[in-house]
Amino acid sequence: MKNTVTFLPDNISIVVDRGTNLLEAALAAGVHINASCGGQGLCGKCRVLVEAGEVDSKRTEKISKQEYDQGWRQACTSLVLSDCTVRIPPESRGAKRLKAQKLDMGKADRKIASLKTKPLAEGWVFDPLAIKVPVQLAPPTLNDNVSDLTRLSLGLKQQHDIENLSVDLRCLKAMPKILRSADWNVTATLMPPLEPEAILSEGAKSAPLRLVRLEPGDTSEFNLAVALDIGTTTVCAELIDLNMGKVLAEAAEYNRQAQYGDDVISRITYAQKPDGKQKLQSLVVSSINQVVDELVEQTNTSKKNISCIASAANTTMTHLLLGLETRYIRETPYVPAANFMPAVYASDIGIDVPDCVEFYSFPAVASYVGGDIVSGILSSGVFQKEQLTLYIDIGTNGEIVLGNRDWLVCAACSMGPAFEGGGIQYGMRAEPGAIEGFHINPLTLEPMLITVERKRPRGICGSGLISILAELLSACVIDRNGKFAHDLPSDRIREGRFGWEYVVTRAQESATRSDIVITEVDIENLIRAKAALFAGCLTLLESLSLTFDELDRVIIAGAFGRYINIENGKRIGLFPDIPDEKFQFLGNGSLIGSRLVCLCREMLDEVQRIAKMMTNIELSDNPSFMDKYMGALFLPHTDEHLFPDVSEYLRSTRQTVRSERKHPGEFQTRPPGRLGSQEYA
């Protein structure tokens, strides 16, 4: 059910789901409300007066009984229950403000790796990767003493019409005892072959189903899969009910390999040391084990109900996990051992699940375009549509895919882990306490911020960083080179231990009891990262004589917070300056593709097809790319023609801010563009 919330005095309305948090509604509507504690009701700065309609909000100590009766509430702890009108008093807006400044939150906010995130791919049907079927067999007699395996096969044929069966030694070893201890009532787990695919031509289609597991009794109601996205920085996972076709839980942990370097290059370097390969292998496995433990704990189930694991990862992560040589991925000309990986037993590589759980690795395209991107292309449906699509995955590496159902080219550019929070002083993953939404009052320089799950701020995640950078730029706190203005009237801008910085959260309001800041060094890292990505996109397009205007669609994948904002992304030159409606956010496309394979076995073939279809273009030693990279080390870009609308907007906004700072009160009209009611969620 939808409700309209109107914010006064600016009279800006937004349509939101009933139950939406009022502070989030304001952020989405582009209405500034001071809020520095992340939305947990502690700082008491976000007081608003509900003049009409109903919100659900308990009284807190920051609001007296009398005020509460008058309609005063804390926005961050109020939920919208009807259409309502909410007045923001001057003290909550910031005493000084640009009249009716809108935050331009965009429509494309999505939760990362969310249960709600859905693949954009179409036409797939629920046909799970592993099925479990109960079989009741007649005990053998002298007149019917076929082998246990044949008896089971015949039972599967008669009771489930399953023919053409193969079996593994591991499963066979346990079979006789299980059949008899279970009095011939068992459950068989069956999977299609996940074998190493034929490299040059299509694999055999008529391959038999594989009997991977036998359990006593009827356990068919417990049939789980783990979908994995193994990133350089983060291991994300979903637990999937293969009977219901439902995601039951999600979990994410830092990849413990990170102690040996932030990016794949440093991992590969470490892998070349004695025992380095083994150590890295066991570290990523321990991270996987941790997320699997969490999934199982969250859902109060048992690991023994897991039937299979599908894993999408970049090429280096896949190589390290399977124990393959990574050295030649790093050295020019960047050659992986293989793109198509054999399936293995999860337990054989150290994952703590039952013996016969299979581990499927998505195939890669090249050393720096891995299975995670193939998985993303699967989930994004790029390979199914006629539309010309640019797929951008922002992780530790930036990977770009351009194409449609007929052709796909791809490239990778080394962004560094900045947008994943790596190399950023207070960078973190989009987990509870991460600042994911940010706005600044350009005159008071006070922030409005929202954290993941509205926990006390602990750090800043990707979407928060994009917003902070864009907001500091719009508010003239930094210039187009990312350097701080030194003359601003706020102690939030200061010279810190590592140079100039902006205090996003003060110590008393942070979870860590120390200031959370963004530094000039952080900003340099972010600019280099976005420059690499943008230069990559531009090079790829130019190599096919295409321009940004010719794109029908841009799909953004990557693990951000919920509040990733197209406008902000454009303003810092991370995204191309094309109409908002062409953008789609996918979330963690790699994880979604991984889930998709678990839910629909036919996708295994599509995965193969996609990987074979993708043509990799090397950027690393490409002089044209280097030129474009240099040109992009500016906010949004040295070449304003590439960002016409954004440049216009920034020029006008920054001019307004500067002139208001010099002559307070003079400028009272709304800044141009992009305002008005909009639907949120």
Residues that bind a copy of itself (CB under 8 A): 140-151, 153-154, 157, 163-169, 172-173, 175-177, 180, 195-201, 203-208, 322-325, 327-328, 332-342, 344, 364, 366-367, 618, 621
Helical axes 264-271 vs 315-322, angle rounded to 10°: 30
Q: Return the number of the residue (20 or 281) whose C-beta is nearest a copy of itself.
A: 281
CB 13 to a copy of itself: min, Å: 55
CB 32 to a copy of itself: min, Å: 50
CB 266 to a copy of itself: min, Å: 19
H helices within 40-198, ranges in order?
A: 65-70, 90-93, 148-160, 169-181
SS3 annotation, 148-183: HHHHHHHHHHHHHCCCCEEECHHHHHHHHHHHHHCC
Q: Return the number of the residue (76 or 344) whose C-beta is nearest a copy of itself.
A: 344
Q: Return the number of the residue (87 or 160) whose C-beta is nearest a copy of itself.
A: 160
Whether residue 208 contacts residue 233, with contact meaning beta carbons closer than 8 Å, is answered with no
User: 179: number of CA atoms within 13 Å, CB side?
Assistant: 20
Q: Return the number of the residue (337 or 388) whose C-beta is nearest a copy of itself.
A: 337
Angstrom distance (rounded) from CA 644 to CA 578? 9
Give residue for tokens 């839980």: 249
CB 400 to a copy of itself: min, Å: 18
Q: Return the number of the residue (332 or 545) whose C-beta is nearest a copy of itself.
A: 332
Helical axes 371-380 vs 589-599, angle rounded to 10°: 70
CB 30 to a copy of itself: min, Å: 47
CB 132 to a copy of itself: min, Å: 19
User: Smallest Cα–Cα separation from 551: which of 674, 673, 400?
Assistant: 400
Give residue for tokens 């994952």: 351
**Kind of pairing between the strands at 234-241 and 224-230:** antiparallel
CB 174 to a copy of itself: min, Å: 8
Label residues 598-631 b or e (16+ Cβ within 10 Å = b): bbbbebbebbbebbbbbebbebeebeebeebbeb
Q: Return the number of the residue (209 or 378) whose C-beta is nearest a copy of itself.
A: 209
Angstrom distance (rounded) from CA 233 to CA 95? 41
Q: Return the number of the residue (15 or 344) whose C-beta is nearest a copy of itself.
A: 344
CB 444 to a copy of itself: min, Å: 53
CB 373 to a copy of itself: min, Å: 15
Whether residue 84 contacts residue 53, with contact meaning beta carbons closer than 8 Å, is answered with yes
Q: Return the number of the residue (28 or 167) whose C-beta is nearest a copy of itself.
A: 167
Angstrom distance (rounded) from CA 320 to CA 250? 24
Q: Return the number of the residue (14 or 320) whose C-beta is nearest a copy of itself.
A: 320
CB 228 to a copy of itself: min, Å: 18
Q: Return the number of the residue (192 or 496) whose C-beta is nearest a copy of itself.
A: 192
Query: Can you give the length of the chain in residues?
Result: 681
Q: Return the number of the residue (197 or 660) whose C-beta is nearest a copy of itself.
A: 197
Measured between its terminal Cα atoms, the distance across the chain in Å is: 11
Amino acid letter for position 97 = R
Whether residue 343 contacts residue 359, with contact meaning beta carbons closer than 8 Å, is answered with yes
CB 532 to a copy of itself: min, Å: 18
CB 134 to a copy of itself: min, Å: 19
Q: How far is residue 239 CA from its own chain's centroid?
A: 16
Q: Return the number of the residue (164 or 302) whose C-beta is nearest a copy of itself.
A: 164
Label residues 258-267 b or e (16+ Cβ within 10 Å = b): bebbbbbbeb
User: 584: number of CA atoms within 13 Å, CB side?
Assistant: 19
Q: Which CA distances in Å does 345 have to 168, 294, 356, 383, 469?
A: 11, 21, 6, 30, 45
